[in-house]
Amino acid sequence: MHIVRQWLHTVFSDTQLVILFLVLVVCAAIILSVGDLLAPVIASVIIAFLLEGLVRVLEGFRWPRMLAVCLVFGMFMLFLAVLLFALIPLLASQITDLIDNIPWIISKAQNAMLHLPQQYPILTEAQMQAIVDSLTLQFSQYGQQILAFSLSSVRSVFSFVVYLVLMPIMVFFFLKDKKVILTWLGAFLPSDHNLASRVWTDVKIQAGNYVRGRIWEVLIVWGATYGCFLFFGLDYAMLLSLLVGLSVIIPYIGAVVVTVPVLIIAYIQWGMDSHFTWAMFAYFVVQLLDANVLVPLLLSGAVNLHPIASIMAILLFGGVWGFWGVFFAIPLASLAQAVLNAWRHSRLTSVAGQGAEPGTV
């Protein structure tokens, strides 16, 4: 008990650590308690934070900030228009077509699997029938979930309209009045908050570079995969390429998971002919280029986390916040790493100061 009391005294005797701890507790409390209500605001802050990088680039070329903000915001609105009027209708059409063809896909997959024992005698018909029955049950459950989602999508559509109207307005003002907002927030902090500022600077650099790099990686992999699938004439090319692009958000796991539907759709469409072989070869070339060229180029030095720490962060934050938890798992892990590093540095500095104190008297 004495050890715990001494440790607490050591931690809470450091004013900088107490300020950092309070800032983190207040932010976490706000997100956990009213995060759902403030979701448009939080999303707008994140988008403005990402667009700020482009604004700073233009300011580096001596552009006035207001002009840079207007240009970047105009590009953002153009991207939203393309997404809303071109990509979403195409994706909706392919998703509807896929749902309508699920019974045919299941039937064809069943026939293909039941004929496998003829090609591979090591597999028995009973084993294949058991696998087919299990997959059929799983697909029926997924179909029920999709139907339930479609029936409850009215509220989602309403929320989407609200986001579509409010978020661009908030993004513009967060970019335009960045200094005013930061000055207002800084007025609530104690005058001596160097440690919290140092942690924020570290996280801002690492997390910002990571998220921007991931977004560029998603867009590049999405575009390259769509080009390959479109060239070979693969069904549901836009939908599958989008899944491949989003899979890079989940390191080490996403690429493996998304390969399964790509292989299934390609095999059902072509079988084991040359089209299947060349399309899958091009797909795996894109995956190799992503892992060995894009990731080192876009994310080198962005976040220095061990793979085990990355996987644990994805499992933890993904389980708490779903998709967005997965997307921001690495930045949140980098925040935890920055806080621990600052805490350790503060303790080492404190110990060094206490050790040097007798010699200075």
Res. 135: pLDDT tops 70: no
Q: Distance between CA atoms of 258 and 249, rounded to whole angstroms? A: 12
Residue type, 28: A
Q: Is pLDDT above 60 for 286?
A: yes
Four-CA torsion 62, 66, 68, 70, nearest 10 degrees: -160
**Is residue 11's pLDDT more than 60?**
no
pLDDT band, residue 14 (cuts 50/70/90): low
Helices and strands counted in the chain (H then E): 17, 0
What's the mean pLDDT in 137-165?
61
Reported confidence tier of residue 224, pLDDT bands at 50, 70, 90: very high
**Interacting residues of 283 by C-beta distance below 8 A, sequence separation 6+:** 225, 228, 229, 244, 259, 262
pLDDT the model gives residue 360: 47
Q: Residue 354: its pLDDT value, please?
A: 54
Q: Which is it for the CA torsion 98, 101, 102, 104, positive or negative? A: negative
* Section 209-214 average pLDDT: 80
Q: Which of 76-80, 90-94, 263-267, 322-326 has the lowest mean pLDDT?
A: 322-326
| pLDDT, mean of residues 324-348 | 73
Reported confidence tier of residue 300, pLDDT bands at 50, 70, 90:
low
| More confident: 107 or 290 | 290
What confidence tens digit (pLDDT) does each residue in 258-283 have? 888 888 888 888 877 888 899 999 99
With a cut of 60, say whether residue 313 has pLDDT above it.
yes
Determine the Cα–Cα distance for residues 13 and 3; give it in Å rounded to an integer: 15
Q: What pLDDT score was predicted for residue 183? A: 84
Centroid of chain to Cα 287: 18
Which pTM was predicted?
0.72
Give the percent of the chain with pLDDT over 90.
14
Q: Hey, what long-range contacts does 341-348 have (CB within 8 A, 24 or more apart)?
A: 341/202, 342/20, 342/195, 342/198, 342/199, 342/202, 343/17, 346/14, 346/16, 346/17, 346/195, 347/10
Judge whether residue 230 has pLDDT over 70.
yes
Please state which of the ranges 23-27, 213-217, 226-230, 262-266 shows the lowest mean pLDDT. 23-27
Per-residue pLDDT band for 23 (boundaries 50, 70, 90) equals confident
d(CA 144, CA 354): 65
pLDDT score of 329 more than 90: no
